[in-house]
Amino acid sequence: MGEITAPIFTRERFLNLRGVRWRIDLGILPSAPGSIEEFRRVAADSRRRYVNLRRQLLIDPHLAKDESVVPDPAVENPLSQNPESTWGQFFRNAELEKEVNQDLSRLYPEIGDFFHDNSIQSMLGRILLVWCLTYPDFGYRQGMHELLAPLLYVLHVDLEFFSQIRNLHEKHFLTEFSTSPVRKKDPFTLTPRILDPEIRELFLLNDAYGAEGELGIILSDKFMEHDAFAMFDTVMHGLDGPVAIAEFYSMAPLADSNAGLTPVREAALSLYHLLSLVDSSLHSHLCELGVEPQYFAMRWLRVLFGRELSLENLLIIWDEIFIYTNETPKGYLTRDLDHISRVLCSSPRGLIILSMAVAMLLYLRPLLLSSEHATTCLQRLMNYPGDVDVKKLIEKARSIQEFALDVYLTSENQLGKRKSGTFLNSPNFWEEKWRVYQENESVHEKKSGNEPVTEKVKKVSIIEKLKRGFSKEKDVSKNNKEKKDRWGTIRRVILNENVVFDSKSVTRGDPSLSDEVTATQVTCNLNGCSNLSDSTESSSGVKKEEEGELEYDEDYKSVLSGIEEMYNQIMKNGPGVNSHNCPYCEVGGNLEVVDKELMAKLRSLGQSMFENIQVIESEVEQSKGMILENVSSATSGGRKKKGVVAALKELRKISSFLSEI
């Protein structure tokens, strides 16, 4: 073997070693070093920095600072109230330490073997103390320990991994003459025996005799504290980039904040701003309930989601967050928008954090929309479900981030132009699908021949369809049924009320259209379109039957046109998405649900519907007798009766669903 050529590192080399990867991402270790020596040197420098800080700040009043200067007992006594006295500093440190230790004792109890080990706890305590004393403006706030813990953990995991590899290759470290393995033998002579270049490199990085000696070992257990401090410092201070988590802990308003709010509140507002662009109905729902963003965002942002997810998931999320650099891309400025926090919106890392938060909100969307009170919403937000699929969350966050990059950052040339903030600029996926489907159906219907136009036959056919609808509903799963009912209710409600569409001109009264509308389900699980018309037609027919007042054709048609309009309106916004498993929908991303006003209207309609049902029921009771007398032939009358009763039952069910919305 000749010389060992200098490897070219990129972070890809260290896919197994999260600690090293994060250190490269955060900028502690060089991302494109020329050689192993340089790599090690940078590591050694950062460690030296920590040692100096520690020596300076963790004061032991017993050790004389300077032998030549005799400390004045009047100042340097333990009870001294002189602020300069080292004893005073010592007692202040002791108080801080007490606070820190109290928090640390409660850290990650589920992974107690690691985090509650005494040496680890004291390490964490020292790191936090040194950091807080280095930045006295921030002091120690609860939450910093949660931010620090995973950083230490990944370093520990790396070390374990490395020791495993070392054990595997133990035989290379044995010499012929020694009985015990000689671990510190010069790897330059040994490495020829290790064939895998990556493993060889790993050993070179951790060689005790390489550049900077022991201080340069990349994966060193002696310097875990130092490395963790460096990582913590970078995360908190962002290395001169805009995102500094430390800002979220400060109580003082940012200098350039418009409303004089603290940074964390500004960030929370920008979170809501992004949410409003991505999913305005959820945003307005939350605003209406009075769920202020900082209630939950403060915890999310201060600990970078540490309290919401399990440690494994958290590590994956942080992988994603740290990939993005913290610097504002060159030639880009933040747009001057209201309620935008410079902190989070100026750099890709900030944006991914924001997008991750929005993605998490969207994941909880159905739960949030269904809560009526702010407390339930907050409860759900604060107790984030543990079984969340992190990969999906990350993908969603990525797509939101790309969008956000467009919205918040602009190149200097384009200053002044403002992009519209709709999330999906392409035409709605579902609109396309519905259009295509309609075309197909119309073709199909024309072939099979239209339904007869006469009144009575129509009524019969409607009832047939109703029955078919019911049987179909029984087959479908319960989830779908609920959804269907919900959508069916919208139709029925509108029909019952006849409020919204009382005097619409008949635009399209051809039976072909009506049949389209009554056509069968869409194949996709999403039941926005399915069975709507089925039930609507049937119910309309039934209703007319029961009340027997309105002329069939006219109202039918007007109602139909109303339905059409309603439908189009809804389709534009997109049918509601309730965690269904359709593969199409993930592409489509977020489709907005029916407007908030509509929901409120529906609720009130549900109420009135229930009253109507009661009225109708009583009427039916009365008219039952009448029908039996009037109609001689049993079949159609019987069918009608059955239809009426069944429809009533259905309506009852639906009204209960509606009232639950």
Partner 1 sequence: MVLVLALGDLHIPHRAPDLPAKFKSMLVPGKIQHIICTGNLCIKEVHDYLKSLCPDLHITRGEYDEDARYPETKTLTIGQFKLGLCHGHQVVPWGDLDSLAMLQRQLDVDILVTGHTHQFKAYKHEGGVVINPGSATGAYSSITYDVNPSFVLMDIDSLRVVVYVYELIDGEVKVDKIDFKKTATVHS
Q: Which spans of this chain sit near partner 1 (rule: CB under 8 A)? A: 62, 73-74, 76-81, 91
Looking at the DSSP assignment, which residues form a beta bridge with residue 411? Answer: 332
CB of 74 to partner 1, least distance (A): 5
Cβ within 8 Å of residue 294, ≥6 positions away: 264, 265, 268
In angstroms, the CA 374 to CA 367 distance is: 12
Question: Which CB sits closer to partner 1, 1 or 70?
Answer: 70
Question: Which CB sits closer to partner 1, 80 or 89?
Answer: 80
Rg of the chain in Å (alpha carbons): 34
Cβ within 8 Å of residue 632, ≥6 positions away: none
Select from 271, 239, 265 the least CA-distant residue to 253: 265
Cβ within 8 Å of residue 383, ≥6 positions away: none
For the record, the structure tokens of 203 come out as: 């050993």
Cβ within 8 Å of residue 435, ≥6 positions away: none
Question: Which CB sits closer to partner 1, 59 or 157?
Answer: 59
Please state whether beta strands 332-334 and 409-411 pair in parallel, antiparallel, or not at all (unpaired): antiparallel
Chain centre distance of CA 12: 26
CB of 122 to partner 1, least distance (A): 16
CB of 72 to partner 1, least distance (A): 8
In angstroms, the CA 108 to CA 652 distance is: 50
CB 493 within 8 A of CB 661: no
In angstroms, the CA 363 to CA 396 distance is: 10
For the record, the structure tokens of 75 come out as: 């100042």
CB of 296 to partner 1, least distance (A): 37
For residue 36, give the amino acid letter.
Answer: I
Secondary-structure percent of the chain, ordered helix, strand, coil, rounded to 5: 65, 0, 35
Question: Which CB sits closer to partner 1, 94 or 453?
Answer: 94
CB 147 within 8 A of CB 141: no
Question: Which CB sits closer to partner 1, 96 or 333?
Answer: 96
Handedness of CA 542, 548, 550, 553 (dihedral sign): positive
In angstroms, the CA 238 to CA 231 distance is: 10
For the record, the structure tokens of 275 come out as: 């949410």
Question: Which CB sits closer to partner 1, 80 or 325?
Answer: 80
The DSSP result for 147-165, as a single string, is HHHHHHHHHHHHHHHHHHH
For the record, the structure tokens of 361 come out as: 């909100």
- DSSP class of residue 380? H
CB of 97 to partner 1, least distance (A): 13
CB of 88 to partner 1, least distance (A): 10
Question: Which CB sits closer to partner 1, 74 or 443?
Answer: 74
CB of 102 to partner 1, least distance (A): 15
In angstroms, the CA 445 to CA 512 distance is: 7
Question: Which CB sits closer to partner 1, 79 or 453?
Answer: 79
- CA dihedral of residues 472, 478, 482, 483 (deg, nearest 10): -80
CB of 138 to partner 1, least distance (A): 24
Question: Which CB sits closer to partner 1, 5 or 81?
Answer: 81
Question: Which CB sits closer to partner 1, 95 or 196?
Answer: 95
Question: Which CB sits closer to partner 1, 99 or 221?
Answer: 99
CB of 64 to partner 1, least distance (A): 11
CB of 80 to partner 1, least distance (A): 8
Question: Which CB sits closer to partner 1, 79 or 587?
Answer: 79
